[in-house]
Amino acid sequence: MARLPRLVLAGQPHLLIQRALDQQAIFLDEQDLARLIEVLRMGLADERVQLHAYALRTHEIQLLATPAAPQSLARLMQTIGRRYVVAFNHRHGRSGTLWNGRFSAAAVEPGEPLLTAMSWVEQSGDTVEATSAAHHLGHRRDPLITDPSAYWSLGNTPFAREAAWRDRLMGGIAEAQAARLRRAARGGWAFGSPGFISAAGAHGRPAAPRAPGRPPRHQPLI
């Protein structure tokens, strides 16, 4: 079966996942990590992509971003491939790609689904080396981040928003929601309400997997 084209909607948030090849490390030390963050900053500016949350993990990159144009996300990831991977290979005496195939992406509905995706990305784990959680918790100002309106709606003051976000991260998200989000990203499906998924599917590419089984046969009109 031919691979479906990637579903990218200009002006809508997307969850991007780029996995490492054979579980190898994407960065080996602080210098590598600083270079990756700088390349990400340049790519966001060059391709007019707003970044809402990120987690740079040892074996995986997770980004929650809104592109200005449908091709902006692919160009952003190409920038990382050209500028970062080349520098990483040169520094560590290696060759070839770092990535396990192309990146995956899911269009995410603004509002509560976006907040769910943000909290999933920012929840800490043993393999997290850099995350945007510190920004949303008020520990530091992250120049990479553009806060979405859904985050601003959490409170009328920075303190209220940061406290609400702290409660979200501490509470986590349901395991079923996390599995659905990762499945959407890896399959290239939309994540959100049925109405959002239906509207996303009107762009010429399915936004959700088809139900199992054959479609019903229509009886001929007499």
Q: What is the mean pLDDT of residues 45-63?
A: 95
What pLDDT does residue 201 have? Answer: 73
Q: What is the mean pLDDT of residues 192-217?
A: 69
* Torsional sign, CA 177, 100, 207, 195: positive
pLDDT tens for 75-93 read 999 999 999 999 999 999 9
What pLDDT does residue 221 have? Answer: 47
Q: What is the mean pLDDT of residues 188-211?
A: 77
Answer yes or no: is pLDDT of 14 > 80: yes
Q: Are 49 and 73 in contact (CB under 8 A)?
A: yes
Residues of the chain with pLDDT > 90, as a percent, come to 69
Quote the pTM value.
0.88
How far apart are the C-alpha atoms of 116 and 131, rounded to whole Å? 16
How far apart are the C-alpha atoms of 24 and 94, rounded to whole Å? 12
Q: How confident is the model at residue 3 (pLDDT cuts 50, 70, 90)?
A: low
Q: Are 63 and 16 in contact (CB under 8 A)?
A: yes
* Rounded alpha-carbon distances, angstroms, from residue 149 to 13, 110, 131, 160, 161: 12, 8, 20, 15, 12
